[in-house]
Amino acid sequence: MLVATPKALNAAQAILSDQLAAIDRACSRFRDDSELAALNRAGGHRRTVSALFARAITVALRAAVVTDGDVDPTCGRSLASLGYDVDFDMLAESTSELIEPPEPAAGWRSVEFDAGQRSVRIPAGVMLDLGATAKALAADLAAEAIWRQLGCGVLVNLGGDIAAAGPAPDGGWRVGVDDGVAAARTGVVAIEGGGVATSGTAFRRWRRGDCEFHHIVVPSTGLPADAYWAAVSVAAASCVDANTASTASIIRGRPALSWLAGMGLPARLVRPDGRVVTTEGWPT
């Protein structure tokens, strides 16, 4: 986290910590007492959820709609079948063979969400995972809360999901963009506000038996997306929008270029050999 007013740093840190704790209690797939875990255990019964969880579900379903299902919140069982069934920091502790075959996602249309009643139902056996959008939402919410409560410009970076709110320093916030390729140079851009997100196939990887996996799965197959792009960085009006677009672009592969251009989103796409392609609006 960076703040434009140094004296606001401690107060901003407290707000950020509160926001992260709240998102974790609502949306973590790896703590038994989270709202998400309770919903996944509900056996097909409808549950009333908090306003924050309802916001997270709204964001996740919107991401599914705008990406034609490429970013799907029902990929939880797909990830678990690939061995991603514990917090990522613990994945390296086990390299045993997979027990289950890859499992396609149930499909976002199976999620029944009543925004007015703040209630959610998923079919028995379906497992939600909000990792594709909840971290970006946390960045947006934290940046907005700090700007609203303290009145200072702020940038929040949650593992590559970046949100900025309020007045930026002169020249904007300088952001390094990771190419996801060891031989490639990291680019630098400046942003005044909104969000920037980078998704890639090299950032979260683990091994089971002789196979290596990454965390961006194709909902229709339950398998990790082919690495046509090593990394995709997108700038948008919010971190959620940027992350949604960058994740979908990894899944779409080459067609992502025309899709991003049609959406009017500036993006930087890096091939595994280090070649860089940009869409209109990404600075040279």
CATH number of the domain to which 82 belongs: 1.10.3980
**Measured distance CA(156)–CA(266) in Å, rounded:** 20
Q: Are residues 95 and 164 in the same domain?
A: no
pTM equals 0.92
> Can you give the pLDDT at residue 214?
62
> Can you give the pLDDT at residue 224?
85
> Can you give the pLDDT at residue 75?
94
Q: Are 274 and 183 contacting, i.e. CB atoms less than 8 angstroms apart?
A: yes
Q: Is residue 105 part of a domain?
A: yes
Place of tokens 């959820």: 49
**Measured distance CA(213)–CA(24) in Å, rounded:** 24
> Can you give the pLDDT at residue 85?
66
Name the domain boundary from 121, 147, 174: 121
pLDDT tens-place string over residues 228-254: 999 999 999 999 999 999 999 999 999
* Among candidate residues 212, 195, 193, the one with its CA nearest the CA of residue 82: 212
Name the domain boundary from 75, 98, 121: 121
pLDDT tens-place string over residues 120-163: 999 999 999 998 899 999 999 999 999 999 999 999 999 889 99
Cβ atoms within 10 A of the Cβ of 218, count?
20
Give me the domain span that covers residue 100: 2-121
Q: Is residue 140 part of a domain?
A: no
